[in-house]
Chains A and B, each alone.
Chain A
């Protein structure tokens, strides 16, 4: 792939890892931050409850929220919120968490895709290549169709915990995704795995699970269930609030930190199995662990947003085109570009049409043509 010729001077490159951040990566990250801020602000200002620029800004900068320990406790840990103006409530309780969730979903999907592309040594791999999406989708449909919407009351010592099936949906999705991944790995295992066998097993499992998913639609008894299932399967951020932020935050921190730390392992893995192994890497173990991190990141984003396609495929690709395939830079780039794409796409999903559409439709509509463009422009695609 044609990256920029490395012109950084050697002394700078010797200072270690933060000094290696080159200018193209820095520019990419800054541009992404600008996109996130602008798109985020659009998302916050516009909507069914219209606000002027000033109103939106003062709601964002509302000292009753920003400086209130209670408000932040309510946001991040759950619990009562302080009295707020309507604007502040709408901005802080509905629109900002949606942007934050979009940021994390973008990060997780991008990083997950980047890892899978290194593990399979194929730049056409995506977070969902190893059956994760099909497993998650099937689990969602199963739980929507088969389990009646009930509320289970779990008595605890001090209070009762009300658990409705819709609250458990993300958990089911993640579990389904992980299960499918385990099945794919088991199928691909034959004295060890190989990237090709992993991808093929992923395709097979996805096809079978996809058929089962479509079969499940026929068992759904009302249209609402079907619609909500479709929203899950295409990926949507509609109705996200701080609960989703609380759900996504801790797991994302773990997955993303591991992914960034693993950058050098990924770089060695890119040299091929034989080289990695003769350098003393336990390739199977590292590959499984890294896939695990990627599945975790994908499952986290599925849990809050459903299956948003194309982000995990395209973002690592875009970043690679700009900073090259060094995963120490690529991972950092993904952490910025992923949110930019996701937040911007969600603006389109929420505001472009009179009705909200799932964000996955927007990422697909934008991502598909962009990917085609890349394909036409580049000589070769496939192996990294």
Chain B
């Protein structure tokens, strides 16, 4: 983690006082490669959603109203925000799993809506929050479904598929579970298997929707270790929704804070995750201390006056 001062680019808004609920609080440091773990590889993909408006047919108001988000190539971007802030909706819209009403989503400058569904699934993976699989399915079989977009209707698994599956299982650290049935696994183990499945998809961009929620501490760390490995050892551009702010601070290169469907702040963790932001976005009074293990955030009490 770096402790450099954020660099403000021309387009971002000035720092708002903590009472403000709109506008971006921190400067925009995204894209400035200032986080000290090496240059992103030129092969990594950039993933951008511009001026996105998205919602559900059941409600008039869009859940996401004009959000712009950029996932810098090869790095990890965390989306944080309170319940109902539209994090999952934004992720679904970005992954074309939810039809957006306006805006564009660009993968390496190319509109993803111009891609076929399988073509897109070869470049962009999304792991939803809750996943279901038949209990009798074996771990290896579930992971192998990640190869679906790479296979034709009649194709059996090619050597390349096998290799991708092995790599994914290896990266997720679930080799010992390989022949187990899904039904016999704990929730945490299951989540690792699901992550292995999207890893086997072998995409340039990987979106994870709350991958650590509901997991015990051990498996939360396992999941975040995978994310860390993706950040350090691969070109994959990762975007993930996190509920745990400290996790975001510790593992993400960039943090985007969302509230009421709009981006409130973006930048590296130190600039975004401030006491002011926690008050404005999450409605909590908290202390933020910089330690040698990253930011330490201690929530103290809720603010009752905010909305």
Contacts and interface: CB of A to CB of B under 8 A. Distances in A.
A266 B232 CA distance: 36
Interface stretch (B12-20, B74-82, B123-131): B123-131
Contacts of B221: none
Contacts of B201: 279
Contact of B118 (A10, A16, A280, A320): A280
Interface in B95-147: 95, 97, 116-122, 125-128, 131-138, 140-142, 145-146
A275 interface: yes
B148 A281 contact: yes
A158 B285 CA distance: 93
Nearest to B132: A272
Contacts of B116: 280
A320 to B, nearest CB: 8
B299 interface: no
A58 to B, nearest CB: 45
Contact of B138 (A6, A320, A383): A6
Interface string A316-346: 0000100011100000000000000000000
Contacts of A124: none
Interface in A1-34: 1-3, 5-7, 10, 13-14, 16-17
B290 to A, nearest CB: 37
Nearest to B125: A278
A288 to B, nearest CB: 15
Interface stretch (B21-29, B62-70, B149-157): B149-157
Contacts of A324: 134, 136-137, 181
Interface in B263-305: none
B145 A1 contact: no
B136 A1 contact: yes
Contact of B132 (A17, A281, A383): A383
A14 B162 contact: yes
A271 B132 contact: yes
Interface string A265-290: 00110111011011111100000000
B31 interface: no
A280 B149 contact: yes
B57 interface: yes
Given A272-B131, A274-B128, A1 B183 contact: yes
Given A277-B97, A280-B118, A324-B137, A5 B181 contact: yes
Nearest to B148: A279
Given A261-B154, A324-B137, A384-B134, A278 B181 contact: no
A198 B97 CA distance: 21
Interface string A346-384: 000000000000000000000000000000000000011
Nearest to A278: B126
Contacts of B183: 1-2
A244 B119 CA distance: 45
Nearest to B92: A274
B39 interface: no
B153 A261 contact: yes
A274 B197 CA distance: 14
A191 interface: yes
Given A261-B153, A267-B141, A272-B131, 7 more contacts: A2-B136, A6-B179, A14-B162, A16-B157, A278-B95, A280-B120, A324-B134
